[in-house]
Amino acid sequence: MDQSTDTNAAIWQSGEIVRAWAAEEKKRELNRAAQRQFMAVLLPFGEQEAFTFLDLGAGTGAASRAILGLHQRSTAILADFSSEMMAAGEHEMQPFAGRYRYVEFDMSTGEWPAAIPGALDAVVTSMCVHHLPDERKQGLFAEIFGHLVPGGWYLNYDPVRTPDPVVEGAWERVSDYYDPDAASRRLHRTPEQQARYDNHVRYVIPLAQQLEYLRSAGFRGIDVYWKQLENVIYGGCRPA
């Protein structure tokens, strides 16, 4: 695919696309609820401990809602670059009014807004880092490290790619088993759907490469804390 044509920004700034995406989100989140909860449990804070976390590429706030729901004294900063997505998120986040705020931030740049504190207890990302080119992924991890307090944690929930066609075939076969319509959708995409899919997966890279980016940034305690087929939760902490 032509690497010069990245349409992610236009996709997520489109009101029509965001509304269609949000309408399907509840169905998607039924399959991701356990992973969101797992991320919340992974954060090393007591349920009544006060802390502030940043949800980067927050979208409508699914990850934040899981963390805020478990950790009753936590506070969330949700960062996203799409005004349409943030508007949709304000509605979804109402049960946590007073415990969160949205900040506009484009992760494709390294220009962090002053509204994001320089000392955060935790940072989470989910289903968004794979949209970034490799160089930007590496830069983002270093920036996250720099915004964490000593002992602060970073967790990422995202898909990865495998360089092994046998593994890729196994992932696809199991995925099709649990979603019988998946194969049909894959084989009968319209040109527009295929273009959007290609753009969606263009920057997905192997897991090992991303873990090395974390090590290079200075993280410790790095592990793949959960994995199912191509979806993983990995992360680490800034040394205390």
> What average pLDDT does range 69-81 have in this prediction?
97
Residue 71 CA from chain centroid, whole number: 20
By the 8 A CB rule, do 51 and 121 touch? Answer: yes
> What average pLDDT does range 124-131 have in this prediction?
95
Across all residues in the chain, what is the average pLDDT? 90
Tokens of 219: 């993280």
E strand segments, 58-117? 74-80, 100-104
Per-residue pLDDT at 3: 45
Per-residue pLDDT at 1: 38
> What average pLDDT does range 168-172 have in this prediction?
96
First-to-last C-alpha distance (Å) of the chain: 43
Tokens of 166: 């046998």
Residue 26 above 70 pLDDT? Answer: no
With cut-offs at 50, 70 and 90, classify the pLDDT of residue 165: very high
By the 8 A CB rule, do 73 and 166 touch? Answer: no
Q: Where are the domains of the chain?
A: 8-237
User: Could you tell me the pTM of the whole model?
Assistant: 0.88
Residue 152 CA neighbour count, 13 Å, CB half: 20
> What average pLDDT does range 141-162 have in this prediction?
98
Residue 25 above 70 pLDDT? Answer: no
- The CATH number given to 8-237 is 3.40.50.150
Residue 18 above 60 pLDDT? Answer: no
> What average pLDDT does range 169-184 have in this prediction?
91
